[in-house]
Structure 1
């Protein structure tokens, strides 16, 4: 009976593992050992791969391929000096063996000597039968040194040799994107599709490029073709749903997201997007139901918790909003938008000390918007921490020089602290820049506004009625 290659490999594996259990020494030809070792390496069973290499070299001590597999394992285990010594011996005998150059390149790559690795891999091109594989390795080395132009060139070469090399296609498109050449990516993908019109991966990638350029109709068509090529392509349904959202077709978007839930295990992303769509449709109960499904599916997805937070903020249920924003912050403590939400929720709950802490964290994380400074200063005013309020507002002036909202507040606080000269200076600045906003000043500092001296300053800037 003839065995297929898979059956032959399975038979060799069973025979080898039986030998290990019984300690009987059985003979294998070198190609059988290569298959066995490849199987263990691919399965991550390094210890068994090492045993197979040891026994294989005892039976076939002159096999170059087995020695190269031993070297490959040494490189994997970072035994670079040992691997290099063995390679140097092999090189004397195998100057035309591409694998020798590839393994030497791997050693240089592990040492972060990527230019030397590239040089050796280009030498390997002269001797290899697998041009796609070596070009892919060169492309990866160029990615390590962030030479995306050269990396792209070599990944495109891979595709010339193997149109079904989707790994290289993804890498090439990544390079186009990093080079901000979206038009180039679209042009290339269209030319690729001309030769391979049923490639769902290429259609999917093309749709994503159109989406980036906000060409939503074209993106929608591309994702439809991806689905025609493979009607179980979950990524295409998800991307199509995103496009439909942009076009305001929320019911249709939900339908596409729902398909992904039927095709495979549900994803938190699909639940979240369905919830957002229902919210846009005004179906609040369904929206929050899917937000809860989102966090149930993935409790570490902070965007799910913030979606629930935002829902309760809109409902003015700040106690619940606080509960859920805290969950998001526990997942990502460095997210500035979460701290900003936290500050606003605490302010709404009149928990001013907690709001102060949250605003401080918001600024520390790089949010220097005018509204943040103003809100923080107003909280400090409510707490009676006038000196801290001055400090915050003076920082704000560095970002927004002479801004009337800042100047009016500084004036009011300085007058409150009894620093008349500074109060007068900032009040005049505020009135000069925006006179009409003195009505807001009256609301913020009513007792200060009623002072005769303050009214006199304001009257200086009041335009005479015509």
Structure 2
């Protein structure tokens, strides 16, 4: 099949809470720049969430386009598939009797490395008053995010007055922030045993619950902080994250906005506020807050990645690529990001630039399915190296043996190498996963032609076209089937339709050349042979063209092509016939 039928697997394109959530992958057809309708964009996003296992979100998005397309059979089919997958997941969890917890890698908020200012104690004043002053000073530092100076003042305050529960509560929190979780929790519990309303002791406990992914208890503790008159920007940030994970996006938005009020230079709050807006389908505000995060910290890679993702889904591949490349400056070992860069170059019609990024992604993570698949495709269509293509696509297959597009691609590789039965097995497996995959039906059709069953192949090519009327490879297959039956006019008709769908299809053009040659229409045959050679020169095509030129009486031109074969392809399997033709001419 021709290059244009190649598929990309996109690594993780989709707006997600990158600090928190893993990415799925989804597929896009490769073919340079393209403009997707709003329906198609949302359908892509639905499939992302479905593959990620986020079935409720997938159904939410599907509902948005259902209202505008109530009779769309593809939407209805996808809805049934999502509901079925959701039901299967629920049944599986019930059988295993597991309590499902959110298992999410969270980024720790680093403690700023601040210079500790000397703690001054006025010995002429009352000790308890000095202790209170140091406590208030520590709180001021804490609210600015200066944990080290706050901690020093709380410690000194306790030296002056060891019985002050307010100071102990605040000190438990700075102890937690400095990494001594066990001691901090012990201190917080001691404080709360005598003062159940101490806000900073509740803040410490809520933060520990958050780190242990016990989010309901964490929220409960944080609410006690607020009800007891205190507030904290990190606490609001964590509350926003919890609400985001619970898909309570309005609540998440509120908490991130409050976090920003408390600390206007906290770039992660802007970033996550952008995610909340995106989840509420407010793309403009999502872009705004991602950009705000970047303006605060231009080296923060994640907002660049998600801005790039939005632009990618909008079909603005130049802007997508620019953002991904900027993110790459600051995050060199992110294999998913490298795949996104490759996808963007592919969409811009620059597959030769995409290939090195897929290779780097595989080097970083040899289990990255999308990177392996796309690198295999790059070897197939950029380097025209089926051996290396097979190597990487088989590696991808070892990771995921059920993906229908991968099964089809690998089936085509086996078919090209003459392993017909293996290819048929893979095409059949692909159709079990997706019985509307036109490429698999087309592959089966070509396999039957290889088996010498041209007539049986026709129904599979027609089935492919009933699913996708633009499947030019299916038209080529029909042309090949007609050619094999000696029906050259019908073959020409099908090859011509394939060429209409893809103007530079080498297979369609060379098929036209051969069919016209069989009909004795040398003028058209010569024209199409020359056009095919212009796309991809092979000694076989040069030889066939030379023979036609010789038959048409143009011996000089025929001689030029024979000479070209002799000079450029001395190991051509028909070189003896070439030499003999040169002698006779």
Instruction: With the length of structure 2 as denominator, give the TM-score of the two structures.
Output: 0.43
In the alignment, structure 1 residue 427 sits paired with structure 2 residue 429: no
Q: Does the 8 Å contact 1:340/1:359 carry over to 2?
A: yes
Q: Using the TM superposition, give the Cα deviation of residue 279 of structure 1 relative to its aligned residue in structure 2, in angstroms.
A: 1.3
CA deviation profile, 1:375-434 (whole Å, cap 9, x unmatched) = 332333332332321221233354457987656534423543xx42xx235325525755
How far, CA to CA, are the matches of 1:451 and 1:222 in structure 2? Answer: 69
Which is further off, 274-283 or 210-219? 210-219
Q: Which residue of 1 aligns with 2:245?
A: 246
Q: Does the 8 Å contact 2:408/2:443 carry over to 1?
A: no
How far, CA to CA, are the matches of 1:358 and 1:340 in structure 2? Answer: 6
How far, CA to CA, are the matches of 1:432 and 1:253 in structure 2? Answer: 46
Q: Which residue of 2 aligns with 1:45?
A: none
In the alignment, structure 1 residue 275 sits paired with structure 2 residue 274: yes
Q: Which residue of 1 aligns with 2:509?
A: none
Q: Does the 8 Å contact 2:423/2:447 carry over to 1?
A: no
Q: Using the TM superposition, give the Cα deviation of residue 321 of structure 1 relative to its aligned residue in structure 2, in angstroms.
A: 0.5
In the alignment, structure 1 residue 394 sits paired with structure 2 residue 413: no
Q: Does the 8 Å contact 2:210/2:218 carry over to 1?
A: yes
Q: Using the TM superposition, give the Cα deviation of residue 331 of structure 1 relative to its aligned residue in structure 2, in angstroms.
A: 0.7
Residues 454, 412 of structure 1: alpha-carbon distance in 2 compared, 3 angstrom cutoff: farther
Residues 448, 175 of structure 1: alpha-carbon distance in 2 compared, 3 angstrom cutoff: farther
Residues 171, 198 of structure 1: alpha-carbon distance in 2 compared, 3 angstrom cutoff: farther
Q: Which residue of 1 aligns with 2:305?
A: 306
Residues 263, 168 of structure 1: alpha-carbon distance in 2 compared, 3 angstrom cutoff: closer
Q: Does the 8 Å contact 2:407/2:429 carry over to 1?
A: no
Q: Which residue of 2 aligns with 1:340?
A: 339
Q: Which residue of 1 aligns with 2:349?
A: 350
Residues 229, 443 of structure 1: alpha-carbon distance in 2 compared, 3 angstrom cutoff: same
Q: Does the 8 Å contact 2:341/2:354 carry over to 1?
A: yes
Q: Which residue of 2 aligns with 1:294?
A: 293
The 3-state SS of whatever aligns with 2:238 is helix
Q: Which residue of 1 aligns with 2:484?
A: none
Residues 378, 424 of structure 1: alpha-carbon distance in 2 compared, 3 angstrom cutoff: same
How far, CA to CA, are the matches of 1:370 and 1:335 in structure 2? Answer: 14
How far, CA to CA, are the matches of 2:300 and 2:340 in structure 1? Answer: 17
Which is further off, 407-416 or 289-298? 407-416
Q: Using the TM superposition, give the Cα deviation of residue 295 of structure 1 relative to its aligned residue in structure 2, in angstroms.
A: 0.3
Residues 404, 172 of structure 1: alpha-carbon distance in 2 compared, 3 angstrom cutoff: closer
Q: Using the TM superposition, give the Cα deviation of residue 329 of structure 1 relative to its aligned residue in structure 2, in angstroms.
A: 0.5
Q: Does the 8 Å contact 2:318/2:348 carry over to 1?
A: yes
Q: Which residue of 2 aligns with 1:263?
A: 262
Q: Which residue of 2 aligns with 1:413?
A: 413
Residues 175, 445 of structure 1: alpha-carbon distance in 2 compared, 3 angstrom cutoff: farther
How many pairs are equivalent? 296
Q: Does the 8 Å contact 1:377/1:392 carry over to 2?
A: yes
Q: Does the 8 Å contact 2:271/2:290 carry over to 1?
A: yes
Residues 252, 415 of structure 1: alpha-carbon distance in 2 compared, 3 angstrom cutoff: closer
Which is further off, 440-449 or 275-284? 440-449
Q: How does 1:368-407 map to 2 (within 5 A)?
A: 368-383=367-382, 384-399=384-399
Q: Using the TM superposition, give the Cα deviation of residue 325 of structure 1 relative to its aligned residue in structure 2, in angstroms.
A: 0.4
How far, CA to CA, are the matches of 1:6 and 1:275 in structure 2? Answer: 45
Q: Using the TM superposition, give the Cα deviation of residue 361 of structure 1 relative to its aligned residue in structure 2, in angstroms.
A: 1.6
The 3-state SS of whatever aligns with 2:451 is helix
How far, CA to CA, are the matches of 2:431 and 2:293 in structure 1? Answer: 50
How far, CA to CA, are the matches of 2:244 and 2:431 in structure 1? Answer: 44
Q: Which residue of 2 aligns with 1:326?
A: 325
Q: Does the 8 Å contact 1:374/1:393 carry over to 2?
A: yes
Q: Using the TM superposition, give the Cα deviation of residue 200 of structure 1 relative to its aligned residue in structure 2, in angstroms.
A: 3.4
Q: How does 1:86-125 map to 2 (within 5 A)?
A: none
Residues 268, 454 of structure 1: alpha-carbon distance in 2 compared, 3 angstrom cutoff: farther
CA deviation profile, 1:178-204 (whole Å, cap 9, x unmatched) = xxxxxxx98985565333434434322
Residues 405, 259 of structure 1: alpha-carbon distance in 2 compared, 3 angstrom cutoff: closer
The 3-state SS of whatever aligns with 1:451 is helix
The 3-state SS of whatever aligns with 1:374 is helix
Q: Which structure is higher in RCO with an 8 Å CA cutoff and minimum separation 6?
A: 2
Q: Using the TM superposition, give the Cα deviation of residue 171 of structure 1 relative to its aligned residue in structure 2, in angstroms.
A: 6.0
Q: How does 1:438-457 map to 2 (within 5 A)?
A: 441-442=439-440, 448-449=446-447, 451-453=449-451
How far, CA to CA, are the matches of 1:454 and 1:375 in structure 2? Answer: 32
Which ranges in structure 1 are unaligned for 5 or more consecutive residues? Answer: 10-129, 134-158, 177-184
How far, CA to CA, are the matches of 1:390 and 1:414 in structure 2? Answer: 8
CA deviation profile, 1:334-380 (whole Å, cap 9, x unmatched) = 11221122122222223212222222222211152444433332333
Q: How does 1:127-138 map to 2 (within 5 A)?
A: none
Residues 410, 220 of structure 1: alpha-carbon distance in 2 compared, 3 angstrom cutoff: closer
In the alignment, structure 1 residue 205 sits paired with structure 2 residue 204: yes
Q: How does 1:85-234 map to 2 (within 5 A)?
A: 165-166=171-172, 167-170=174-177, 174=181, 192-211=191-210, 215-229=214-228, 231-234=230-233
Q: Does the 8 Å contact 1:407/1:426 carry over to 2?
A: no
Q: Which residue of 2 aligns with 1:96?
A: none
Residues 284, 435 of structure 1: alpha-carbon distance in 2 compared, 3 angstrom cutoff: closer
How far, CA to CA, are the matches of 2:329 and 2:302 in structure 1? Answer: 12
CA deviation profile, 1:61-97 (whole Å, cap 9, x unmatched) = xxxxxxxxxxxxxxxxxxxxxxxxxxxxxxxxxxxxx
How far, CA to CA, are the matches of 2:179 and 2:330 in structure 1? Answer: 33
Which ranges in structure 2 are unaligned for 5 or more consecutive residues? Answer: 1-119, 125-155, 160-164, 461-585
How far, CA to CA, are the matches of 1:214 and 1:168 in structure 2? Answer: 20
The 3-state SS of whatever aligns with 2:346 is helix
Residues 204, 412 of structure 1: alpha-carbon distance in 2 compared, 3 angstrom cutoff: same
How far, CA to CA, are the matches of 1:195 and 1:455 in structure 2? Answer: 87
